[in-house]
Structures are given as C-alpha cells and as structure tokens.
Amino acid sequence: MRTDEQDLDTPDEIDSEEAMAAEEMQEIRAMLLSQMEEIEERLNATHEETEFEVGDEVDHSVISQEQTLNSLIESREIERLQQIKDALQRMDSGEYGWCEETGQWIGKKRLMALPFTRLSLEAQMEQERRANRNRGVGGFSEDTNYAGNYRD
C-alpha cells in the first residue's frame, strides 16, 4: 500500500524530468538550427552560380527550364526557412509543441519528425480534408460539373 509520502515527487525527480524535457527541446532546437544553416548555404550557393554563355535556342530553352525549376526550389526553401524561424520563435516564447488549431500537445514523435510543424496530426488531417473538399473530385468544386458549369 502506498503512503502519502510515496505519492509526492522529490525535487530530484522533478528536476530530472524537466531536464529531460529541456534536453529534448535542445535536441530539436539543434536540428532546426542545422536545417536552417543547410538551407541558407544552399540558397547562397544558388545565388553565387555563374551564368553561362548560351549558344542557340535549345540552350536558351534548357536554361529557361532550369531557371524555372531553380526558382520553384528556391521558393520552397525560403518557405521552409521561414517555418524553421517561426518554430524557433515559438520555442523562445514557450508556444512550441502546441497545436495552433486545437491547442493540444503535438507529440514528441511528430515534433522529432517535423520539428517545424505547427499542427497536430489530427489537425493536419482535418486541414487536408477541408482542402480536398474545397477542391472536389478531379480538382473541380462540388458546385460545378465536369464542364465547369454550375449546377442548379
């Protein structure tokens, strides 16, 4: 049988639990900082690439396609960089790890896999369901038929 004294945590137990949580948070912070540094290096390398002289229209076409692809990649990298900076800011403010939609704890496994996430798995799935509903079947809204005409 447990006594009241056994139900109380000792200060050493509390400190070790908090230290573990702080240790995990530092591990995630280190991951975020590492990812941020990698992205910044890639973005800097992209800007430092030299332009090559182009010989013919095919070369122009290939370079144009590469520039379009690089621009798309760069915009995604910039978006990810902002997500990381936002996560670091949430860490500093004490809001990190809490779902912005539900207010529930996101969960350690999800945070370790996606350290910049703002949403719990449930909230993310609900957001995707709403987006799919709005998009409708085949990219058409539920209010239009396949010819794009609005239904009565």
Contacts of residue 146, Cβ cutoff 8 Å, sequence gap at least 6:
138, 140
pLDDT at position 69 is 87
Q: Is residue 30 domain-shared with residue 60, that is, in the same domain? A: yes
70 lies in some domain: yes
Where residue 86 sits, what CATH number does that domain have?
1.20.120.910
Report pTM: 0.67
pLDDT tens-digit profile of 12-37?
Answer: 443 434 444 888 999 999 999 999 99
Domain range spanning residue 129? 120-152
Tokens 């949430």 label which residue? 90
77 lies in some domain: yes
The answer to whether residue 139 scores a pLDDT higher than 80 is: no
Q: Is residue 21 domain-shared with residue 36, that is, in the same domain? A: yes
Q: What is the DSSP letter of 78?
A: H
The answer to whether residue 150 scores a pLDDT higher than 70 is: no
pLDDT tens-digit profile of 60-118?
Answer: 778 888 888 888 999 999 999 999 999 999 999 999 999 999 999 998 899 999 999 99
Q: Is residue 125 domain-shared with residue 86, that is, in the same domain? A: no
Q: Is residue 102 domain-shared with residue 146, that is, in the same domain? A: no
- Count of structural domains within the chain: 2
pLDDT band at residue 138, thresholds of 50, 70 and 90?
Answer: low
Tokens 């049988």 label which residue? 1
Q: Is residue 100 domain-shared with residue 133, that is, in the same domain? A: no
Q: Is residue 21 domain-shared with residue 90, that is, in the same domain? A: yes
pLDDT at position 53 is 54
Contacts of residue 103, Cβ cutoff 8 Å, sequence gap at least 6:
none
Q: Is residue 147 domain-shared with residue 107, that is, in the same domain? A: no
Q: Is residue 132 domain-shared with residue 108, that is, in the same domain? A: no
Q: Is residue 75 domain-shared with residue 149, that is, in the same domain? A: no
Q: Is residue 46 domain-shared with residue 76, that is, in the same domain? A: yes
Q: What is the DSSP letter of 138?
A: G
Please, is 90 exposed, middle or buried when counting C-beta atoms within 10 Å of its C-beta (0-12, 13-18, 19+)? middle
Distance CA(128)–CA(125), nearest Å, equals 5
What values do phi and psi take at 107, rounded to 5?
115, 140
Q: Is residue 113 domain-shared with residue 124, that is, in the same domain? A: no
Q: 117 vs 47, which has greater pLDDT?
A: 117
2 lies in some domain: no
The answer to whether residue 11 scores a pLDDT higher than 70 is: no
Distance CA(103)–CA(13), nearest Å, equals 27
pLDDT band at residue 50, thresholds of 50, 70 and 90?
Answer: very low
